[in-house]
Amino acid sequence: MTHLLLRRTSVSIAAFAVLAASATQAAAQMSFPTGTVRFVAPFSASTPPDIISRIVARELTETEGWRVIVENRPGAITTIAAADVLSQPADGHSLYAMSTPSVAAPSLLPNVSFDLDKDFEPVVKATISYNVLVVNPSVPAKTVAELVALLKSQPDKLTFSSGGFGTPAHLIGEQFKQQTDTRAQHVPYAQFPQAIGDLNTLPLELQGLTTTVTDPAIYALGTVTTVISLVVIASALGSAWWLRRRRAGRAS
């Protein structure tokens, strides 16, 4: 999966460079970038936004000669990273790696001070990712139907983990419960990689993971993690965008 992601990402590097360079009105009169380009990832290291950002940063450095760094600003359902980018000049040198939680944040947090539509503008759509439903090997379910039957027979006994409230794994778990009319307890983690590790070592029963990080992990841990379904629900499909701060006066 990593090599496939690299090939798909490299196709859009040239387009990314052109779009990022249009961030200022004076782009036609000046070269871009004039300094370091920052990719601000709203999650910790080894999460999908971080992995994708580092792949693209490396490709831009190697193919375009740019100096690109990735800075992790996790917390508050991605709003810390968004606020970081909004605090920078609107010159395209600070880019926000937006994903599903960025859209969910205004509905889950009471005082989000920005509007994604009005304060940011898209640069490029970086990836489309699918999700995999996995279970701890101790769970006596090998299909989705068996898992649903198990959840119905033991409401609120099984648990599902995530990297925190509003993250894809959390939203996937909640929608899975809603669509199947089942109940399970949500166990949020501060760091998503820790949740993945504990799925195999602690009594956490199920989890929804993006294939960005799941494919190599499942291959390596295939004897201890059971994959029971691919793309369980339609909304499990996610995408990642890079956004830049919108220039003042620009029409939304």
* Predicted confidence (pLDDT) per residue in 10-58, tens digit: 445 555 565 565 555 444 455 888 999 999 999 888 888 888 889 889 9
For domain 131-236, is the CATH number 3.40.50.620?
no
Q: Is the pTM of this model over 0.75?
A: no
Structure tokens at 4: 């496939």
Q: Are 60 and 33 in contact (CB under 8 A)?
A: no
Q: What is the CATH number of domain 2-128+239-245?
A: 3.40.190.150
All residues at 6 or more sequence positions from 103 whose CB lies less than 8 Å from its CB, including other chains: 116
Per-residue pLDDT of the chain (252 residues; tens, 9 = 90+): 333 333 334 445 555 565 565 555 444 455 888 999 999 999 888 888 888 889 889 988 998 899 999 999 998 889 999 999 999 998 889 999 888 888 888 888 888 888 988 999 888 887 777 677 878 777 888 778 888 899 999 999 888 888 888 888 888 888 888 888 999 999 988 877 788 778 777 666 777 665 544 334 433 333 345 555 443 433 334 556 667 777 765 554
Domain limits, CATH 3.40.190.150, in the chain: 2-128+239-245
Give me the half-sphere count of Cα atoms (radius 13 Å) on the Cβ side of residue 20: 31
Q: Are 211 and 228 in contact (CB under 8 A)?
A: no
Domain limits, CATH 3.40.190.10, in the chain: 131-236
